Amino acid sequence: MSALIEAESVSKAFGGLQALSDCSLSVAKGSIAGLIGPNGSGKTTLFNVMTGYDRCSSGEVRFDGQSITRSTPERVFALGVGRTFQITRLFFRLTVLENMLVATQRHEGWTRSVARRAGSAAERARALELLDFVGLSRLARSPAGNLSYGQRKLLELASLLVADPAVLLLDEPTAGVNPTLIKQLTERIRELNRAGKTFLVVEHNMEFVMGLCHEVTVLHQGRALKSGTPEQVRADPAVLDAYLGGADDDNE
Amino acid sequence: MSARAPVRALLVVLGIVILGVFPLVFSNPTTTSIAFFTVVFMVCASAWNMFAGSSGYIALGHAVYFGCGAYALTLLANHLGFAAGWGVFALVPVAGIVAGLIAIPTGLIALRARRHTFVVITIAFMFIFQLAAFNLGFTGGSSGLQPPTPLWSVKTYNDNFYYVIALVLLATVALSWLVRRSRFGLQLLAIRDDEERARGLGVRVGRVKLTAFILSAIPVGMAGGVYAYFLGQIFPQFAFDPLFDLSIALMAFLGGLGTVAGPLLGALVLESLQQYFTVQYGASQAYLIIYGALFLVVVLLLPRGVIPSVEELISRWRSRSGAPEPEPGETGRTGGGVVEAGAR
């Protein structure tokens, strides 16, 4: 399997803090990859580096064989990499449907957006279809700020799907979400994966990761400690050590 | 807007008719002069809101573009030998273009910063331009400049200017409405709510912000040009006036930031009041006290401005009286729905 998005020996420091050191990660096309690790192990930083929000000091990030190491978030998204945030970010004063329409410009020149309406009939129909997919269509006209936490997570995911990205990077999609919605989320991710979307998921919820992901990478102190199937990772003594002890500075 | 589409259309037509016949009905030069200044500020507040209201970047330096428009029209009319009369109005769009061109470098610099820093930088630009106008040779320094004065009869003198600025107003409102319903307008609102996430959804925030900034500077420059021609003289401290910046921002806040109608209403109320007090009591600075008091009232009672608050009231009343909700507002339109949608 070829890698759709990969980070190769990426390093990133914030002042004296080495958030990532020589960290490599590769997500195969068509797979659901998991990224786990103790708090502060660099998961979100790796996400930021991969999506253009942070620049790495060394190493390379590639999407579909093309380097995106120095790209801006706008450009990374235009290429087909969508991401969600650990703390859900929405346009809270816009309606749910308007939130869905923001990303629709991906396939179009920028100048056209000045003249054209916020969403064509087809785009609105597609947005409503996707809202239906995540079960939010009846809330299309209410402000996004009124949604519950779990609904916000679903909307954040759906608003990426409008632009039809090839790979989705989800940062803790189940944090603070109730079990029913987690189940729904799992089903949706599986369904999208069957339709050809690639996923990279950061999670603390082991049950969720182990049940969903084809391949799991464990990050520890800015390094990729271990990559493998969920079973391999679960049985690895180094992984257990990272999570259960040994590195007391990571435990919160 | 939560008003039904026919009601909205009726309001728009009514507004245009009133704008058109006002000087015919109230032909007293004192009144038409007040009307002229009011429409000038309606243009400026509306244009300012197109950028600041939508993007959340509270620019307090649009006097730069007002002053540049004023100086551009005056300098061009004098140096190109324009005879006083209708011909000079041909320079109004040029004044707008000059203001738009000046908005490119100033916008590029100011928009590198966000929020409070952005505000301070725009204020700084305003004072830099004022200082430049005082000190550069071609601006006439503190004695200012005089554009040609047309020899129109006193009876219709104001009306000619009024109709020109009224045309500028119509164009500005049309532009503002087009931006509001475009994808570009949605991107601006997205930037207002969360700029980082907008980037993550592919919005080219730099270009979007700069374009909106330039678009909002152009009508302000045109208004500045008409204003200079009307007054027959310009001075640095009035062309680049910090109170101008505060006024247009306050007008937009009062009416409703980010709505199309809000700044128009705000300017209509505040500027006509100010002019009235100036004419009536000769107290040209007394309006500042009233501005202060009004600002307090707005912040305390109507933090989102008049238009969004009234809309909310109407839709609440409608849902309470059991009347069926009209087909809920399409996206991109002014105003939200039943629920507190934030400052729309």
Domain membership of residue A149 (yes or no) is no
User: What pLDDT, on a 0 to 100 scale, did the predictor assign at position A44?
Assistant: 87
The answer to whether residues A77 and A163 touch, using CB atoms and an 8 Å cutoff, is yes
Which are the contacts of B178, defined by CB distance < 8 A and separation ≥ 6? none
Give the distance from residue A247's alpha carbon to the nearest chain B alpha carbon, in angstroms. 33
pLDDT tens sequence across A131-185? 888 888 888 888 888 888 888 888 888 888 888 888 999 988 888 788 888 888 8
How far CA B344 is from CA of B188, B245, B333, in Å, comes to 12, 21, 10
pLDDT tens sequence across B38-80? 999 999 999 999 999 899 898 998 999 999 999 999 999 888 8
| Number of domains forming the structure of chain A | 1
Chain B residue with the nearest C-alpha to that of A78 = B202
For residue B284, the one-letter residue type is S
Say yes or no for a CB contact (<8 Å) between A90 and B187. no
A117, A159, A162: best to mutate for the B interface, most B CBs within 10 A: A117
Partner-chain residue, chosen from B185, B197, B344, that has the shortest CB–CB distance to A89: B197
- Whether A137 and chain B come into contact, CB under 8 Å, resolves to no
Chain A residue with the nearest C-alpha to that of B182 = A117
Give the distance from residue B192's alpha carbon to the nearest chain A alpha carbon, in angstroms. 8
Most confident of A199-213, B209-223, B297-311, B329-343: B209-223
Which are the contacts of B4, defined by CB distance < 8 A and separation ≥ 6? B326
* Ordered structural domains, chain B, with CATH: 5-320 (1.10.3470)
Give me the domain span that covers residue A180.
3-92+164-250
pLDDT tens sequence across B138-174? 888 888 888 888 888 887 888 889 999 999 999 999 9
Partner-chain residue, chosen from B187, B211, B339, that has the shortest CB–CB distance to A146: B339
Mean local confidence (pLDDT), B274-297: 76
- Identify all chain B residues contacting A158, using CB atoms and an 8 Å cutoff: none
pLDDT higher than threshold 70 for residue A113: no
Domain membership of residue A179 (yes or no) is yes
Tell me how far apart the alpha carbons of residues A84 and A175 are, in angstroms, rounded to a whole number: 12
Domain membership of residue A226 (yes or no) is yes
For residue B26, the 8-state DSSP code is: S
User: What pLDDT, on a 0 to 100 scale, did the predictor assign at position A29?
Assistant: 87
User: What pLDDT, on a 0 to 100 scale, did the predictor assign at position B322?
Assistant: 56
The answer to whether residues B52 and B216 touch, using CB atoms and an 8 Å cutoff, is yes
A200-209 burial, b for 16+ CB within 10 Å, e for fewer? bbbbebeebb
Domain membership of residue A174 (yes or no) is yes
- Identify all chain B residues contacting A89, using CB atoms and an 8 Å cutoff: 194, 196-197, 200
Tell me how far apart the alpha carbons of residues B9 and B21 are, in angstroms, rounded to a whole number: 18
User: What pLDDT, on a 0 to 100 scale, did the predictor assign at position B341?
Assistant: 34
Spatial strand order of the sheet with A58-63 comes to A17-28, A3-14, A58-63, A66-67
SS3 (DSSP) at A164: coil
- Return the H-helix or E-strand segment holding A98: helix A96-101
pLDDT tens sequence across B75-126? 998 888 878 788 888 889 999 999 999 999 999 999 988 888 999 999 999 9
Rg of chain A taking only CA atoms, in angstroms = 18
User: What pLDDT, on a 0 to 100 scale, did the predictor assign at position A115?
Assistant: 67
β pairing state of A81-83 and A167-171: parallel
Give the distance from residue B283's alpha carbon to the nearest chain A alpha carbon, in angstroms. 41
Domain membership of residue A122 (yes or no) is no
pLDDT higher than threshold 80 for residue A47: yes
| Closest CA relative to residue B97, chosen from B130, B69, B77 | B69
- Identify all chain B residues contacting A159, using CB atoms and an 8 Å cutoff: 201
| Closest CA relative to residue B269, chosen from B287, B285, B281, B283 | B287
Say yes or no for a CB contact (<8 Å) between A90 and B198. no
Domain membership of residue A191 (yes or no) is yes
In chain A, the percentage of residues whose pLDDT exceeds 70 is: 92
- Identify all chain A residues contacting B185, using CB atoms and an 8 Å cutoff: 118
Sign of dihedral through CA atoms B76, B79, B80, B83? Answer: positive
The answer to whether residues A48 and A69 touch, using CB atoms and an 8 Å cutoff, is no
A51, A105, A162, A170: best to mutate for the B interface, most B CBs within 10 A: A105
Say yes or no for a CB contact (<8 Å) between A53 and B185. no
Which are the contacts of A243, defined by CB distance < 8 A and separation ≥ 6? A38
Beta-bridged to residue B1, according to DSSP, are: none
Average pLDDT of chain B is 84
Angle in degrees, CA A134, A136, A142, rounded to 5: 150
Which are the contacts of A26, defined by CB distance < 8 A and separation ≥ 6? A3, A5, A6, A7
User: What pLDDT, on a 0 to 100 scale, did the predictor assign at position A174?
Assistant: 84
Partner-chain residue, chosen from A77, A78, A114, that has the shortest CB–CB distance to B184: A114
In chain B, the percentage of residues whose pLDDT exceeds 70 is: 91
A244 token code pair: 């259960």
Tell me how far apart the alpha carbons of residues B231 and B228 are, in angstroms, rounded to a whole number: 5
Spatial strand order of the sheet with A32-36 comes to A81-83, A167-171, A198-202, A32-36, A215-220, A223-228
**Band of residue B328 on the pLDDT scale cut at 50, 70, 90:** very low
Tell me how far apart the alpha carbons of residues A152 and A89 are, in angstroms, rounded to a whole number: 8
**Which pTM was predicted?**
0.85
User: What pLDDT, on a 0 to 100 scale, did the predictor assign at position B39?
Assistant: 93
Tell me how far apart the alpha carbons of residues A231 and B281 are, in angstroms, rounded to a whole number: 86
β pairing state of A223-228 and A215-220: antiparallel
For residue B280, the one-letter residue type is Q
Region for residue A172 given its phi and psi (left: phi exceeds 0; alpha: psi -120 to 50; beta: otherwise): left
| Closest CA relative to residue B163, chosen from B51, B325, B57, B19 | B19
B240 token code pair: 């680049």
Which are the contacts of B14, defined by CB distance < 8 A and separation ≥ 6? none
Domain membership of residue A114 (yes or no) is no
CA dihedral B288, B294, B300, B305 (to 10 degrees): -120
Q: How many whole angstroms from its chain centre is CA B211? A: 16
CATH code of the domain covering residue A201? 3.40.50.300
E strand map for A84-214: 167-171, 198-202
- Identify all chain A residues contacting B196, using CB atoms and an 8 Å cutoff: 53, 73, 89
Give the distance from residue A233's alpha carbon to the nearest chain B alpha carbon, in angstroms. 31
CA dihedral A30, A73, B341, B170 (to 10 degrees): -120
**Band of residue A110 on the pLDDT scale cut at 50, 70, 90:** low
Instruction: Say how many CA atoms lie within 13 Å of A194 toward its Cβ.
Output: 5
Domain membership of residue A59 (yes or no) is yes
Say yes or no for a CB contact (<8 Å) between B341 and A118. no
